[in-house]
Amino acid sequence: NAGVTQTPKFRVLKTGQSMTLLCAQDMNHEYMYWYRQDPGMGLRLIHYSVGEGTTAKGEVPDGYNVSRLKKQNFLLGLESAAPSQTSVYFCASSYIGRGNTEAFFGQGTRLTVV
């Protein structure tokens, strides 16, 4: 059981380049999230999805786009990368069920924009 898998694990981009981070979950979860983690700032929610075909903005959505075309995948796109987007990105998935609502996290993607 793979859980939540993020690809790639590491990436270095030049300013202005674009890229897509992929998150895949095999637990049939409805909810999926993208966070960024910066030193001293904890995890900040970028975008999230409450089901296939739906997305919503989190705390820090600017400069990012997302898509949830398939229930198991949640893609995070950077159209024109900026140094301020250097961060560690985490994807998570969860379901809301009676008595249990644990979010499962991927191992993270370390992105450096130079």
Residue-by-residue DSSP string for 19-54: EEEEEEESS--SEEEEEEEETTTEEEEEEEESSTT-
Per CB under 8 A, which of residues 85..104 are in contact with other proteins?
90, 92, 94, 96, 99, 101-104
Say whether residue 26 binds other proteins (CB under 8 A): no
- Any contact of residue 82 with other proteins (CB under 8 A)? no
Residues whose CB is less than 8 angstroms from the CB of residue 45 and which lie 6 or more positions away in sequence, other chains included = 33, 34, 35, 58, 59, 60
Nearer to other proteins, 42 or 69 (CB): 42
The CB-of-28 to other proteins minimum distance in angstroms stands at 16
Least distance from C-beta 43 to other proteins, angstroms? 4
CA torsion through residues 57, 93, 35, 2, sign: negative
Q: How many CA atoms lie within 13 A of 94 on its CB side?
A: 14
- Comparing CB distances to other proteins, the nearer of 80 and 107 is 107
Q: If binding is defined by CB under 8 A, does position 27 make contact with other proteins?
A: no
Q: Is 22 in the site for other proteins (CB under 8 A)?
A: no
Q: Would you count residue 42 as binding other proteins (CB under 8 A)?
A: yes
